Amino acid sequence: MKHNLVYNLGAAFITFFLSAFITFWMTPYIISNLGSEAYGFIPLTQNLISILSVLTVALSSVIARFFTVAITQESYYKAEGYFNTYLITSLVGSVFIFSLIVVAIIYIDKLINVPLNLLNDVRLALLFSGTLVIITFIKSLFLAGPFSQNKLYITKGIEASNAILKALFIIVLLTILTPKIWYVNLGAMIAGLISLFISIYIFKKVIPKISLNTKSFSFKKLKELLSAGAWNSIGQIGVLLFLAIELLVANNVLGATKAGIYAAIIQLPLLLRTIASIIAGVFAPVIIKNYANNNMNGLIIYSNKAVKLNGLLIALPAALMCGMAGAILDVWLGPEFIEYKWLLILNSAYLIFTLSVLPLTHIYTAVNRLRVPGIVTLFLGFLNLILAVYLAGYTVLGLYGIVLAGSIALILKNFLFIPLYSSYITKQQFSIYYKGVLQPIIGALFAVGLCIFLQMYIDITGWGALISTGIIVTLGYLIFSYVLLLNREEKQILINLIRSIVK
């Protein structure tokens, strides 16, 4: 199990660095070729299409849980029923989803502000992003295979290969051909299709006992999956109101130009949110297996360690974005973006403690208590929308109003609700899941202070100085965390894990 955790985390970090490379390279390249206004439509179209995930998440978010429980209990007949029920349903559902994509393509200029010269490009971007949603919907089934074996390093390996292929396709399209915004969506779609085929191949290798059999389709199992995942769909609406609404509000309230600037600025915080979810997912199989084996004490202990480790991993990049915001924007996007450094700082600061607790969300799935989280997420998502529209459109805050709205809503959802509800459904003291939150905050404060101190002596005017400063801060943070933030048991576990890797 320890080896799997190392492999899983290692693969997650590889995926993170590849995604970071794509973001760092792609954003300034497209802005320099197409302008910040055109660039803004890349994440905006992706956010619009992500609304369709509400239709897929009811199945895709719970299939791994039911499949894993069945495999853990060695009920392969039951697992095969879940497999074929999901597969047939996802194929039929994809036809309906594609019809909605076509409608969105036709009426896109009625939904958002699109300059006439970019209208066809935006429509193509919607087509390719929509197709990717369908591919991802189907692929979720096959990723449940390595998940059920706690071999998430295989899943992360697929994601890493997808990131590499995505980067290669985008680079080729943008450098060889005349740059278009939909090249990014096309590259992502092609890479996603290839990763689907890889996922199918690996599933057959990992779970050879499960095969395609239309007779295994069961309306009873479909109802079981939908009943469990329906609240995830409700919650997904709330998630979209957190993540997808920012650019829509910026576009409709402040205009396409401001939305383009904001889209560029928030790429790094959004990337951090994504990697936080990826890392948190590494801990999901053990949490679910502990519950499947009725090991509630093990679930609680492991979840607490997951919160602390997840927080320590997330705190460093968040602190770097806070401590070196001006330098990052100057080197990355150009000096004209330095004036927006507080947008990056404010978008990153509250993530230090709101993303730490994400592993706890898998307790909901393990215990199958998804209704309340879904309702709360939906409510706070609407709160985020209302606050964002009001603060951005009816006060002088502008883009900062969108940031403030998001921070208030996410603090309420993540930092308050997630730990408290997790303790409630596991019948523990309300403070029990806050034990691992303090250390990441302390580590982040140290890293921010070190960033500020180093910039007094280092003039960061290029990539070399930026990277070297980041490396120094990272080394300092690692030493500080090991000496002061890890207890004796955790230090020994870390040493043993490193020894196992070396051997």
| pLDDT 10s digits, 126-183 | 999 999 989 988 998 888 888 777 776 787 778 778 878 887 888 888 788 877 888 8
Non-local (6+) Cβ contacts of 82 within 8 A are 63, 66, 67, 70, 221, 225
- Position 501 confidence tier, pLDDT thresholds 50, 70, 90: very low
Using CA atoms, how far apart are residues 225 and 60, in angstroms rounded to an integer?
Answer: 9
Using CA atoms, how far apart are residues 107 and 197, in angstroms rounded to an integer?
Answer: 33
Question: What pLDDT, on the 0 to 100 scale, is given for residue 48?
Answer: 78
| Sign of the alpha-carbon torsion through 238, 243, 248, 253 | positive
Two tokens, residue 143: 């990723």
Residue 447 pLDDT more than 80?
yes
The domain tally of the chain equals 1
CB contact burial 410-429 (16+ within 10 A = b; e otherwise) = bebbbbebbbebbbeebeee
List, for residues 461-480, the tens digit of each pLDDT value: 888 999 999 999 999 999 99
**By CB neighbour count within 10 A (0-12 exposed, 13-18 middle, 19+ buried), where does 220 fall?**
exposed
List, for residues 218-227, the tens digit of each pLDDT value: 888 888 888 7
Non-local (6+) Cβ contacts of 193 within 8 A are 135
Q: 3-class SS at 393?
A: helix
**By CB neighbour count within 10 A (0-12 exposed, 13-18 middle, 19+ buried), where does 100 fall?**
middle
Contact predicate 169/190, CB 8 Å:
yes
What's the whole-model pTM score?
0.73
List, for residues 328-371, the tens digit of each pLDDT value: 999 988 888 899 999 999 999 999 889 988 888 888 877 778 78
Residue 27 pLDDT more than 70?
yes
Contact predicate 317/470, CB 8 Å:
no
Average pLDDT over residues 18-38: 73
Range of the domain at 211: 2-502
Residue 61 pLDDT more than 80?
no
List, for residues 86-140, the tens digit of each pLDDT value: 899 989 989 999 999 999 899 888 877 787 888 898 899 999 999 998 998 899 8
- Position 433 confidence tier, pLDDT thresholds 50, 70, 90: confident
Question: What pLDDT, on the 0 to 100 scale, is given for residue 283?
Answer: 79
HEC assignment per residue over 5-39: HHHHHHHHHHHHHHHHHHHHHHHHHHHHHHCHHHH
Contact predicate 89/229, CB 8 Å:
no
Of 91-100, 185-194, 242-251, which range is least confident? Answer: 242-251
